[in-house]
Chains A and B, each alone.
Chain A
């Protein structure tokens, strides 16, 4: 187990693994997304209050969940990079940022489109919405801080501090609807206790969440490989790989 972990932390091995895993992750994500979209748009019955508008949940909730999960992955990777000085961990953290930022944009945009018919407004300075907007600024700040350094190692360390401190916003977003009296509706599913929606509505949501995770992993594979190529530009293993293999594999 530990041996495998050490092996994975070596850039040449991680590069090869990411390349192999990517198609499997991507195709299973696409397949699950199609199934979940069919379940959410066709099979699930309309909500008794929100009618068909509730179907936005199948893209909004997975995007919002990923905006937080990706940040946790980013912060944990950055933490590992700082504590154990593993270069690959910093590469993973840097690779997470643009993907997480896009999920956050998607969550805010679909939430806004959902808010218009349900609340009568595109935007409200509500705890959930405001904290999710701060989440977007955390991603953007992280990326801006990284790009302000020419030296990759300094960029890694400085941005890791920001990433770790920024983690406090994750529980604030997650529990904002519970802690404060929010315009945003409460959670429909929770790990403890029974979900408040019927199984015909629930399974497409859970399937879509799984599909988004696999999709994230697939895109992460590409982004990690880019990061490795940037960081290892003078490594001897790289010229070996590049001179024997065709472009794009």
Chain B
């Protein structure tokens, strides 16, 4: 098990690459989700405003 983490002396290089990959993959996923959530929220608000009787403009919602 210690051998596995040691990576034949290349531990720092190998594990930093895998760690970096994990960070970038998770970050990418998170950024996309956060952007989608904010767009969904905006669209939902706009939809609510436009369904209120009397309000004809949906532009005000943003």
- Seen from chain A, the residues whose Cβ lies within 8 Å of a Cβ on chain B are 26, 37, 41-42, 46, 51-53, 55-56, 59-60, 63, 98-99, 102, 105-106, 109-110, 113-114, 116-117, 215, 218-219, 222-223, 225-226, 229-230, 233-234, 238-243, 247-248
Contact = CB atoms under 8 A, between A and B. Distances in A.
Contacts of B46: 233, 238-239, 242
B25 to A, nearest CB: 7
B37 A243 contact: no
A117 B39 contact: no
A116 B14 CA distance: 11
Contacts, number: 116
14 contacts: A52-B14, A55-B14, A56-B14, A56-B17, A59-B21, A106-B21, A114-B13, A219-B32, A223-B36, A226-B32, A233-B43, A233-B46, A242-B43, A242-B48
A60 B40 contact: no
Interface of B: 4, 7-10, 13-14, 16-18, 20-21, 24-25, 27-29, 31-33, 35-37, 39-44, 46-48, 50-51, 58-59, 62
Contacts of B16: 113
Chain A binding surface, main DSSP class: helix
A213 B21 CA distance: 14
